[in-house]
Structure 1
Amino acid sequence: MTRVASLYLPQLAIERLRRSERLRGSEHSTKPPERGALPLQSRLPAPIDHNSGVCSVPRGGGWRPGARWAQGGALPATPTKAEIDALPAHQRPASHERSRRSEATNHPFRAMPPDDGMPGGAPAAPVPISAWAPPLILIERVGQKEVVTAACSIARDLGLSPGMAAAHARALVSDLDVRDADLSGDRALLDRLALHAVGHWTPIASISGPDGLWLDLSGTTHLFGGEERFCHRLVRFLHRLGFTATIAIAGTPGAAYALARFGGNVITILPPAAETDAIADLPLAALRLSSEALSAASRFGLERIADLYPMPRGPLAKRLGLSTVTRLDQARGAVAEPIVPVVPFEMPRTERRLLEPIGTAEAITQVIGNLIDDMVLLLQERGLGLRAAALTCLRVDGGEQRIGFGTARATRDARHLKRLAAMRVETIDPGLGIEAMTLAAPRVEELHAVAISAGLAGEERAPDIAPLVDQLIGRAGEKALFRMSPRESDVPERAARRAAPLTIPTGWPRWKRPVRLLARPELLGRVVALLPDHPPRRFVWRGRPYNVVAGDGPERIHGEWWRTAQEMWAVRDYFRVEAEGGERFWLFRRGDGVDAPTGDLSWYMHGLFG
């Protein structure tokens, strides 16, 4: 069952700006005050208790704020019972206040470092904005005019909204704080938040628009105690960072997106298969329609998503566009909407754009060499080695030519990489000319310095065959070179598999096996053998008779009953035999020679020794 969460940050740009200012202010607050400058406590009145007419003692200092009778020096530090009884009735302290301590005390709970990346001493919750602060808006220049991209809550209450012209906003509100929008900074914050989500919440996260995220929660919410607890945890996490957030969980990304932005609730958890009814009363803007489609819908009197349900698909697509039908089906779950996840890895990439198109093999080889030199420097800075490379050549006619090559071991040897790339140049069709080339490394591995022996003790360093393997693979193909590696299975044809050429196989069985194992066992004819435990004396294989002079066995192997029912009682008895001509074979008989269900007593050739 698919469960998708849509996270919406309605004040992302405004709150990110204020958070950055708050962090810069906390950095400057650690500096000593300038000479002659009054401390903050002397310039601002000291805070008093919530009951301002009774006590003026500040919170957390000196007397506790609840001791209303400790003021004005009327009583000593420790008043006696007789002195309290002498006071008028309206001035006597309550019984629960008489036992309160008069000295300052520390917080009973130990302060813990926050998880939002801020220093431990910084406040975790966002600093409230004063009521007399000027309204803040962010603007962006679009063409010849400036447009409002974000507005704070105070500005929204005054009638300002995103999409309004900046001149109109200034005319409506005189004391307006206008700043330039930083769309790249907002995008960078969303990228960081998406990477954090991939590392802590879900393996699939994607950015949805300029102010939200999609989180694929299928099979992950049980790790956090359920969907409701996960939502509360996520909202509290963002509140500690200083951001206002709403979240909705539904079965489709479109429905979650609509409910998070237009549902009206901070947390919305939709039951499975309830998307159609849940989004019916929402406006059409919740479907992420274009401005042209929304204008056309308003002309036809369509305001809610439910107005589109009874309409035929053909006229609806003709009037509002085919994308409207697609968005509607995606929100209701009739059409799949894939989420493109963010990948927490930046692929090393180098690019060269040419002043003039090239088409000769020499020029292409030269540009590839320059790309490889740039790639080697990039890999060296990041401590990586190349395992696979992809070269893309952009032609003048818009076509692309792609070639790829790989290495058996991570390397940053520019000379070796150039040699491998030169072997593939002949497969590039330049056409009318190549105007741009890009080299990417989709597969890399960590590559650090390796200590080598000085050779003083007569030790010889083992030769590195990785370059030889790369050249042979480049000429013969990737599947031409391999090693055999053991696999956990008692059946001989299943006990081995192909491995990479530089793999060091381990775990081979101690019993002897033939050097060459046939792909499939071959039936033998005219076999003469003494049952049940003796090897054959003579047999015919591939039309040639053989007389056995020596033999060893049997080695009994049972079938793997958990795979198929036919192997429940299957038994093989293997023998190593030597013929008169010196040939050594590995034969087996189906069945143990006693019970008929174990096999039909037929003989097969399975391998050759030497």
Structure 2
Amino acid sequence: MRRVVSLYLPNWPVDRLRRGLGPDAPPPDTPLVLTGRVGRKRAVTACNAAAAACGARVGMAATQAQALIPDLDLRDADPVGDAEALDRLALWALHRYAPICQATPPDGLAIDVTGAAHLKGGEGALLRDLVGRLAASGVTARAVIAPTFGAAHAVARFRSGLEIVADSEIDGALGPLPLEALRLPPDIPSHLRRMGFDRIDDVAHRPRAPLQLRFGPELGRRLDQAYGRTSEPLLPVEAPETPRVERVFAEPIGAPETLERYAGQLAEALCTVLEQRGLGVRRLDWLCYRVDHRIEPVRIGLARPIRHPARLTRLLADKIQTIEPGFGIERMTLIASAVEALDWRPRESALGEANRPDVSVLIDTLANRIGADRLYRLTPVQSDVPERSLRKVAPLSAPTGAGWRPEWPRPSRLFRRPEPVETLALLPDNPPTHFTWRGVRRRIRRADGPERIFGEWGRRDAEMWAVRDYFQVEDEAGERFWLFRAGDGVDAATGSQAWFIHGLFG
């Protein structure tokens, strides 16, 4: 099933104006309205929250708004500039989130994230990242993901709190909403209300023929689009400078082996274009246009820029099972949506030196199967506290040059949080004789320590006197553990004197 994001920008004209003015923008608590020509009168086309609190509303005559709010900041609207900025925002979303993104003037975007949400850590993480980045740049936004754009569009604008609509929840999410949520012409909801229909529930499951006879096909079309009974294709925004290749078929195709063959041909053609420009691809978008005007998108991320046709073909082939060809695919496009400069390098050293193994092939395969956020490596950080002495970085990030202190070995597996254990030890410096962890009692045969680690008083006052005494212990089965006592075993101010396990040695 498709997954489509509707991004709603309720104050887009005002937010865009404030971003353009920068430090010269009026304070947020100053009532601000934008006015433009509506028919034969000058009316309010947008207003900020302060103006709305004072009684201004969209559609109100500009003179009435001025009379109602004495200190009103009145500015001219720029609908052409708003539409162009919305197209630029759609290009930004296309490059960052999914291969299909369409501007939906005047106040939003439609983003088809089918098969691409896992690259951002899942649907919830994608929505948080999208809204958070816009909020950081001064743009108010709300995003909802649903199986259809009609459902996502309606929920984003008419229902608060719900951000993810599952395939089985469309009816429950749409039913309580007003008829305006269906994107109908204004006269249709008003006529329906005169007949006693107020919500989508009132018309969604009624016989279609009487309604179509009275209101035409538009009501039924919007209902079918919202409930997923009719496809609603999105037209992806395109950047002319983006490297792309395309193939149109005389007859629709659908067999997996045929898709793989033509994907390989497109990969070779795209690599030729990239070589002419001296570029390598970092993100690849494969768009398959079906005969029913639906687009099946595939997005592939790469750890480093490449232009190797066989490698790209192999990554595309891994995604063929996610494509639903339907009655056939009539057009296929391959787009290098993110590129970087790539110089040619010889595969073998002229001096006969051994080449370093290229693990980017494995990283690309795993990242596109399980998500790039789940792949990382650890790098040292200057800190004596074990859980703060490392951090996650990208698998192919450059070495930092830092290292861990070699005096005391560290466990191969360090727990995210220390887990409490029950034990018995002679204070203050003797190791425990046994301990119980996760319901299993273990007798200690060998031990080494203590290694005393002090708290980092520069971070917070609670660590001013904090102490941990770490012991490496081995049980009778030969398994080795990393235990510590919170405190020095004498002074209660240094810790609770409780024991914890913090890691396992391989």
Partner of 1:572: 468
CA distance in structure 2 between the partners assigned to 1:534 and 1:311 by the alignment: 74
**Residues 487 and 495, structure 1, Cα contact 8 Å, conserved in 2:** yes
Is the aligned partner of 1:516 residue 2:413?
A: yes
Gap change, CA 1:463 and 1:304, over 3 Å in 2: closer
Show the 5 A alignment for 1:88-487: 216-217=19-20, 219=22, 273=30, 275-276=32-33, 287=36, 289=37, 293-294=38-39, 297=40, 302=41, 339-340=85-86, 341=88, 346-451=241-346, 454=349, 456=351, 459-475=353-369, 478=372, 481-487=375-381
Gap change, CA 1:578 and 1:449, over 3 Å in 2: same
Query: What residue identity is the alignment partner of 1:540?
Result: T
1:119-142 deviation line (CA, Å, top 9, x unaligned):
xxxxxxxxxxxxxxxxxxxxxxxx
Show the 5 A alignment for 1:490-505: 490-503=384-397, 505=399
Give the CA deviation at 1:329.
12
Give the CA deviation at 1:375.
1.5
CA distance in structure 2 between the partners assigned to 1:513 and 1:473 by the alignment: 29
Partner of 1:144: none
Query: What residue identity is the alignment partner of 1:597?
Result: A
Q: Select 1:596's aligned residue among 481, 492, 495.
A: 492
Gap change, CA 1:215 and 1:572, over 3 Å in 2: same
Partner of 1:562: 459
CA distance in structure 1 between the partners assigned to 2:347 and 2:295 by the alignment: 44
**Residues 551 and 578, structure 1, Cα contact 8 Å, conserved in 2:** no
Partner of 1:552: 449
Give the CA deviation at 1:559.
4.5
Give the CA deviation at 1:422.
0.7
CA distance in structure 1 between the partners assigned to 2:248 and 2:504 by the alignment: 58
CA distance in structure 1 between the partners assigned to 2:487 and 2:344 by the alignment: 57
Give the CA deviation at 1:490.
3.6
CA distance in structure 1 between the partners assigned to 2:431 and 2:255 by the alignment: 67
CA distance in structure 2 between the partners assigned to 1:518 and 1:584 by the alignment: 14
CA distance in structure 2 between the partners assigned to 1:496 and 1:425 by the alignment: 38
Is the aligned partner of 1:585 residue 2:481?
A: yes
Of 539-548 and 400-409, more deviation after overlay is shown by 539-548
Gap change, CA 1:596 and 1:392, over 3 Å in 2: same
Query: What residue identity is the alignment partner of 1:470?
Result: D
Give the CA deviation at 1:591.
1.4
**Residues 452 and 467, structure 2, Cα contact 8 Å, conserved in 1:** no
Of 552-561 and 434-443, more deviation after overlay is shown by 552-561
Q: Select 1:539's aligned residue among 435, 443, 451.
A: 435
Query: What residue identity is the alignment partner of 2:442?
Result: P
CA distance in structure 1 between the partners assigned to 2:44 and 2:365 by the alignment: 61
Matched position secondary structure for 1:364: helix
TM-score of the pair, normalised by structure 1: 0.45
CA distance in structure 1 between the partners assigned to 2:486 and 2:387 by the alignment: 15
**Residues 549 and 578, structure 1, Cα contact 8 Å, conserved in 2:** yes
CA distance in structure 2 between the partners assigned to 1:303 and 1:501 by the alignment: 58
Give the CA deviation at 1:501.
3.0
Give the CA deviation at 1:421.
0.4
**Residues 552 and 575, structure 1, Cα contact 8 Å, conserved in 2:** yes
Partner of 2:120: none
Matched position secondary structure for 1:547: strand
Give the CA deviation at 1:429.
0.4
**Residues 527 and 603, structure 1, Cα contact 8 Å, conserved in 2:** no
1:184-239 deviation line (CA, Å, top 9, x unaligned):
xxxxxxxxxxxxxxxxxxxxxxxx9xxxx9894465x6xxxxx6xxxxxxxxxxxx
Matched position secondary structure for 2:363: helix
CA distance in structure 1 between the partners assigned to 2:263 and 2:247 by the alignment: 9
CA distance in structure 1 between the partners assigned to 2:473 and 2:250 by the alignment: 72
**Residues 570 and 599, structure 1, Cα contact 8 Å, conserved in 2:** yes
Of 439-448 and 348-357, more deviation after overlay is shown by 348-357
Matched position secondary structure for 2:267: helix
1:369-400 deviation line (CA, Å, top 9, x unaligned):
23212221221122111122121222222222
Give the CA deviation at 1:411.
0.9
Matched position secondary structure for 1:407: strand
1:409-428 deviation line (CA, Å, top 9, x unaligned):
22110011001101111110
CA distance in structure 1 between the partners assigned to 2:364 and 2:349 by the alignment: 28
Gap change, CA 1:447 and 1:495, over 3 Å in 2: same
Matched position secondary structure for 2:459: coil
Decide which structure has the larger Cα Rg and report it. 1
Gap change, CA 1:272 and 1:539, over 3 Å in 2: closer
Higher relative contact order (CA 8 A, sep 6+): 2
**Residues 275 and 332, structure 1, Cα contact 8 Å, conserved in 2:** no
Show the 5 A alignment for 1:73-88: none
1:41-86 deviation line (CA, Å, top 9, x unaligned):
xxxxxxxxxxxxxxxxxxxxxxxxxxxxxxxxxxxxxxxxxxxxxx
Give the CA deviation at 1:515.
0.9
Matched position secondary structure for 1:524: strand
CA distance in structure 1 between the partners assigned to 2:264 and 2:341 by the alignment: 23
CA distance in structure 2 between the partners assigned to 1:355 and 1:569 by the alignment: 77
CA distance in structure 1 between the partners assigned to 2:281 and 2:58 by the alignment: 53
Give the CA deviation at 1:558.
0.6
Any gaps of 5 or more consecutive residues in structure 1? 1-207, 222-226, 228-249, 253-270, 280-285, 318-327
Query: What residue identity is the alignment partner of 2:322?
Result: T
CA distance in structure 1 between the partners assigned to 2:405 and 2:470 by the alignment: 16
Partner of 1:3: none
CA distance in structure 2 between the partners assigned to 1:404 and 1:314 by the alignment: 40
Q: Select 1:528's aligned residue among 416, 425, 437.
A: 425
Q: What is the percentage of aligned positions where both structures have the same residue?
A: 40
CA distance in structure 2 between the partners assigned to 1:472 and 1:303 by the alignment: 58
CA distance in structure 2 between the partners assigned to 1:398 and 1:329 by the alignment: 46
CA RMSD after TM alignment: 4.3
Of 551-560 and 404-413, more deviation after overlay is shown by 551-560
Any gaps of 5 or more consecutive residues in structure 2? 1-12, 62-71, 93-238
**Residues 32 and 73, structure 2, Cα contact 8 Å, conserved in 1:** no
Matched position secondary structure for 1:371: helix
